[in-house]
Amino acid sequence: MGHARARPAILPDAIILVWLHLRSQGIAATPNTEILMERKIRVLVAKPGLDGHDRGAKVIASAFRDAGFEVIYTGLHQTPEMIVSAAVQEDVDVVALSVLSGAHMTLFPRVLELLREAGADHMLLTGGGIIPEEDIEALAGLGVGRLFGPGTTTTEAVAYIREWSERQPQDLVG
């Protein structure tokens, strides 16, 4: 099972021209979000480190797919380098790490650092796992997004990514 590759990073000129035309006619005063949302949110779900517990990663990957995101799942035992290289190669919007091993204070900062080095700091780094409150705060201070603990619903995680995405500058029409 993989993901569909067909996804325009930039809206096809034809659609933009139609939209510009409609707007000039006063028919479409605001961007039709349905058309603009053509670009699906792309999420890399990754399991960094040596931890093999992938129940959460697989459940969240399925939930993201059901929510209409394009999901790439890395598989297990990934190094931060492997994750960032996959994120860049797949041109994702969001990198979601699942860490149940207690190594989050090593893995999240390292992935963040590598994303920055790769010029991919526009990507949202988020995730979940067994992560104590004070560590979540410390990681947020570094620039990591929300981290979800045990008992989180997949709906919450989906909503968070949607909201984040809506806040991002739309490079699609600009």
Report the interface residues with another protein, using CB under 8 A: 1, 45, 49-55, 57-59, 61-63, 65, 71, 73-77, 79, 101-103, 105-107, 130, 132-133, 149-151, 153-155
Q: Which is nearer to another protein, 16 or 138 (CB)?
A: 138
Q: Which is nearer to another protein, 32 or 101 (CB)?
A: 101
Question: Which of residues 55 and 167 has its CB atom nearest to another protein in the complex?
Answer: 55
Q: How many CB atoms lie within 10 A of CB 151?
A: 6
**How far apart are the C-alpha atoms of 133 and 39, rounded to whole Å?**
34
Torsional sign, CA 14, 16, 21, 22: positive
- CB 6, min distance to another protein, A: 20
The neighbouring-strand residues paired with 97 are 46, 127
* Nearest residue to 56 (alpha-carbon basis) of 125, 4, 128, 124: 128
* Closer of 31 and 109 to another protein (Cβ): 109
| Closest approach of another protein to the CB of residue 102, in Å | 4
Least CB distance from residue 103 to another protein, whole Å?
A: 4
Kindly tell me which of 1 and 14 has the beta carbon lying closer to another protein. Answer: 1
Minimum Å gap between C-beta 160 and another protein is 15
The helices-and-strands tally (H runs, E runs) of the chain is: 7, 5
Least separation in angstroms between CB 153 and another protein: 5
Burial classification of residue 166, based on how many CB atoms lie within 10 Å of its CB (0-12 exposed, 13-18 middle, 19 or more buried):
exposed
